Amino acid sequence: MANPQKTVFGSNFSSDYKFIHHKIKRYRLLVKRKLTIIFNMDKSFKFEIEDSEKYIVSKIYKATKIPTQILYHKIFIENANNNSAGYVIKEQCGKGGASVVYKGVIKDTDETIIIKELKTNNLYKVKREVNILKLCKNIPNVIQLLDFFVNDDCYYLLFPYYNCNSSRTIFYNFTQIEIKIFMKKFLEALEKLHRKGIIHRDLKPGNILVKSCSDFYIIDFGISDFYVPHRKFDTKLGTRNFKAPEQLINIKGFDYGIDIWSSGLIFAEIYFGKYPFWKPEEDIIILENIYNLVGTDKFTEFINEYKTGGVYHFLKNSVEPANLESYFERKASDSIRNNTEENKKAFDLIGKMLEIDPRKRITAHDALKHPYFAN
């Protein structure tokens, strides 16, 4: 943001924007009038931008020769910037890799909100995040978008304020039953996202705001994307520790399975009360961790199957698949450690989520049917 001291949003658009804004407004009126006459529609009908977007873009393009891609973007912004003056920015309360996060209030109601200022001017990414957040509407345990607007060429997302503690402190104090409640709700949310075609791509404790095992929110859809078969994704994006093996060996055609892998790590982390991979500096070190987890046979089968051509120095030491308990050097509380029956089911599910081959990895849908959740 240009000036963080400025507390009320204005409507200070660039001249380029003003010009297009004016044009869009004019053509919207025309379209509205036309539709009203042709279909004898009620004059108070709500304008559905998607229906007439093409018409407006083609009209403005003919008149201005401004590239259609830019016009689509401008319409998207124009459609979203109405209420910015209704909010007041207060203090900064967080900073992610791709944003600065402020607390704010809704002027009318004095309700505290979160205002996330995106550190990008890539409209494609902004649109993607907004569209995905809109699709998350009413999914329990997923952050809810209140509004989106643009001001001084910066993009702002508005969310309810979730007054939560650092997720790790809370996770490590969950009882066994609380872990189960959390994982069930978490996987239910994930299943709903996947059903809508959304891959989160950055699941990790830092992107979960937690009050309790049932009151938590999956946040940060900054690098989320829609799954399209055969589409290649950028494997560099994401948080190294939580990247799935297929991302680490650079298979670009990945899918929802990467979210299951990172959820498996989150599950293991909560269950074992320990951060599984210690701040590794390089992808190869995580791959070595994975190698020690799944053992030589599975790992070699995986790299042969996907023909990566990578060089893995650790292959010279042959290892057996790890026993999860010793692999994660369990620091869980006594009540968890001694509950063997429950542990067996939990380890089985963690193992299925941390399956190295994405095609054999369990889905969110099937994970929810696992015996671990039966009681």
Ligand X SMILES: Nc1ncnc2c1ncn2[C@@H]1O[C@H](COP(=O)(O)OP(=O)(O)O)[C@@H](O)[C@H]1O
Nearer Cβ to ligand X (98/322): 98
Taking the complex as a whole, the smallest distance from the CB of residue 234 to ligand X amounts, in Å, to 16
Residues whose CB falls within 8 Å of the CB of residue 351, separated by 6 or more in sequence, listed in order: 324
31 binds, among Mg ion, ligand X, none (CB under 5 to 8 A by kind): none
Nearer to ligand X, 211 or 298 (CB): 211
Q: Give the number of residues in contact with ligand X, rule: CB under 6 A.
A: 18
Q: Which of 102, 149, 155, 159 binds ligand X (CB under 6 A)?
A: 159
Where does this chain touch ligand X (CB under 6 A) — which range of 81-89, 133-141, 155-163, 366-374? 155-163
Does residue 169 touch ligand X according to CB under 6 A? no
Site string for ligand X, 88-127 (x = CB under 6 A): ------x-xxxx-x------------x-x-----------
- Considering only residues 135-154, where is the footprint of ligand X by CB under 6 A? 143
Q: Which does 101 bind (CB under 5 to 8 A by kind): ligand X, Mg ion, none?
A: ligand X
Question: Which span sits near ligand X by CB under 6 A: 134-142, 186-194, 219-227, 256-264?
Answer: 219-227
Q: How far is the CB of 336 from ligand X (least distance, A)?
A: 27
Using CB atoms within 10 Å of the CB of residue 44, give its burial: 0 to 12 exposed, 13 to 18 middle, 19+ buried. exposed
Closest approach of Cβ 45 to ligand X, in Å? Answer: 34
Which residues, other chains included, contact 360 with Cβ-Cβ below 8 Å and sequence gap of 6+? none
Q: In Å, how far are 58, 254, 271, 286, 320 from 52, measured between CA atoms?
A: 10, 35, 51, 49, 61
Nearest C-alpha neighbor of 262 from the set 302, 206, 215:
206
Smallest distance from Mg ion to CB 106, Å:
23
Where are the strands (E) in the chain, listed by range? 87-95, 99-106, 112-118, 147-151, 154-160, 198-199, 208-210, 216-218, 225-226
Q: Do you know the residue count of the chain?
A: 375
Structure tokens at 37: 């006459």
Question: Between residues 56 and 158, which has the closer beta carbon with respect to ligand X?
Answer: 158
Q: Which residues bind Mg ion (CB under 5 A)?
A: 96, 207, 220
Both tokens of 290, joined, read 């994975």
Q: Which among 239, 326, 223, 335 is positioned nearest to 286, based on CA atoms?
A: 239
Within 10 Å of residue 226's Cβ, how many Cβ atoms? 13
Residues that bind ligand X (CB under 6 A): 94, 96-99, 101, 114, 116, 143, 159, 161-162, 206-207, 209, 219-220, 222
